[in-house]
């Protein structure tokens, strides 16, 4: 089975490894190298790095609009294309190019959370369950029929980064299982998505990370979890900008206004919300590293 794999970030690497174990990955497509890290040096994507380790040819077109790029893709004579967090829109001509079509791994239980940021939006919404779907791609945004799915529990203390890593591994497993069926001559049954329960996970914007203290504490706590490790929730407390890495909602019914600091103790910083209060447990000062509430209290005493 000849496979073309298209993906870019770390999330796609387990799926690439699974594809290599179940067939011959004849080409890897990934986005062009871009500046990354503190030094802003030009670095290959995680998928490219994995492909080069495996001596798989790598292609990095800006898009598939020109005929030459599409013909180059066709020349691989692949049976199937697997797409995982590639970051480019594939035209219909590409989707129809392969005998077994194009498969996509999506990090939600479709049709809930179609779109760019399903992991973070699920946590932000307070969902207790998500999953991964193996989907047959079509022209619409994450609208294709589902071939296989795996439900996954979201734990109350799970951050966006934790859930990302867990779903990435399940993404690799679902690719493995789907390809194993295909190798055995069994095409996974395609189940159309329901027209009910459709939600869209729009792209994360840095501006969203600024905490609105007028919201209920549970919503803010979910936002803190969802936006860890990026873009990281932030606020200003007593004139100091803080990035919030960990927080919990606590019951409170006092007269203070949203945004007022209730207490700064070794247990955390308590801030009044639109409903209840938020206890900030782990935070980061400008120019510093993430620290615990006790370390923050000690630092304040040292400054004073």
Q: What are phi and psi of 217, to 5 degrees?
A: -60, -35
pLDDT value at position 198? 97
- pLDDT class of 37 with cuts at 50, 70, 90: low
Tokens representing 57? 């040819």
Statement to judge: residues 116 and 189 lie in one domain: yes
Neighbours of 85 (CB within 10 A): 23
**Mean pLDDT for the chain overall:** 95
Of the three residues 148, 166, 201, the one that is the final residue of a domain is: 201
The answer to the question of whether 109 is labelled as a binding residue is: yes
Q: Among the residues of 106-230, which ranges form H helices?
A: 118-124, 160-183, 217-226
Statement to judge: residues 48 and 86 lie in one domain: yes
The answer to the question of whether 111 is labelled as a binding residue is: yes
- pLDDT class of 301 with cuts at 50, 70, 90: low
Of the three residues 181, 201, 221, the one that is the final residue of a domain is: 201
Statement to judge: residues 241 and 172 lie in one domain: no
82, 15 Cβ separation under 8 angstroms: yes
The answer to the question of whether 108 is labelled as a binding residue is: yes
Statement to judge: residues 239 and 218 lie in one domain: yes
Percentage of the chain exceeding pLDDT 70: 97
Q: For residue 10, give its domain range.
A: 2-201
Residue range 165-201, pLDDT digits in tens? 999 999 999 999 999 999 999 999 999 999 999 999 9
Statement to judge: residues 46 and 166 lie in one domain: yes
- Once rounded to an integer, what is the mean pLDDT over residues 68-91? 96
* Selected residue with higher pLDDT from 260 and 43: 260
Statement to judge: residues 46 and 173 lie in one domain: yes
pLDDT value at position 302? 54
- pLDDT class of 220 with cuts at 50, 70, 90: very high
Taking the CA atoms of residue 192, residue 19, residue 106 and residue 10 in that order, the dihedral angle to the nearest 10 degrees is -170
pTM: 0.94
The answer to the question of whether 90 is labelled as a binding residue is: no
Of the three residues 176, 201, 226, the one that is the final residue of a domain is: 201
31, 47 Cβ separation under 8 angstroms: no
pLDDT value at position 297? 86
CB contact set of 185 (below 8 Å; sequence gap of 6+):
none
Statement to judge: residues 216 and 149 lie in one domain: no
Statement to judge: residues 215 and 240 lie in one domain: yes
pLDDT value at position 43? 87
Helices (H) and strands (E) in the chain, counts: 8, 17
Statement to judge: residues 125 and 251 lie in one domain: no
- Number of folded domains in the chain? 2
pLDDT value at position 35? 77
Q: What is the CATH number of the domain that holds 226?
A: 3.10.25.10
pLDDT value at position 303? 44
Q: What is the CATH number of the domain that holds 183?
A: 3.40.50.170
Statement to judge: residues 23 and 96 lie in one domain: yes
Statement to judge: residues 235 and 168 lie in one domain: no
State yes or no: pLDDT of 20 exceeds 90: yes
Residue range 122-160, pLDDT digits in tens? 999 999 999 999 999 999 899 999 999 999 999 999 999
Statement to judge: residues 235 and 192 lie in one domain: no
């Amino acid at each position: 089975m000849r496979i073309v794999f298209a993906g870019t970030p770390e999330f796609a690497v387990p799926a690439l490894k699974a594809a290599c174990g179940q067939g011959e990955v004849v080409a890897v497509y990934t986005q062009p190298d871009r500046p990354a890290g503190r030094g802003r040096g030009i670095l290959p994507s995680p998928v490219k790095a994995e492909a080069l380790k495996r001596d798989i040819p790598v292609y990095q077109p800006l898009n598939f609009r020109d005929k030459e790029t599409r013909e180059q893709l066709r020349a691989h004579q692949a049976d199937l294309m697997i797409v995982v967090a590639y970051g480019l829109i594939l035209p219909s001509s590409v989707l129809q190019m392969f005998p077994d079509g194009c498969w996509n791994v999506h990090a939600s239980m479709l049709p809930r959370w179609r779109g760019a940021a399903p992991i973070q939006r699920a946590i932000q919404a307070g969902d207790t369950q998500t999953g991964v779907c193996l989907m047959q791609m079509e022209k619409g945004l994450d609208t294709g029929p589902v071939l296989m799915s795996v439900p996954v529990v979201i734990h109350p203390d799970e951050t966006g980064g934790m859930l990302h890593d867990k779903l990435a591994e399940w993404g690799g497993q679902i690719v493995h299982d789907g390809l194993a069926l295909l190798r055995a001559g069994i095409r996974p049954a395609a189940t159309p998505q329901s027209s009910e329960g459709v939600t869209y996970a729009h792209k994360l914007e840095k501006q969203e990370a600024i905490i609105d203290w007028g919201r209920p504490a549970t919503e803010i706590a979910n936002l803190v979890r969802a936006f860890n490790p990026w873009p990281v929730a932030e606020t200003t407390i007593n004139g100091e900008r803080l990035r919030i890495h960990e927080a919990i909602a606590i019951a409170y019914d006092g007269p203070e206004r949203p945004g007022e600091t209730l207490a700064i103790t070794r247990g955390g910083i308590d801030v009044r919300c639109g409903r209840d209060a938020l206890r900030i447990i782990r935070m980061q000062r400008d120019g510093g590293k993430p620290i615990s509430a006790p370390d923050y209290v000690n630092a304040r005493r040292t400054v004073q």
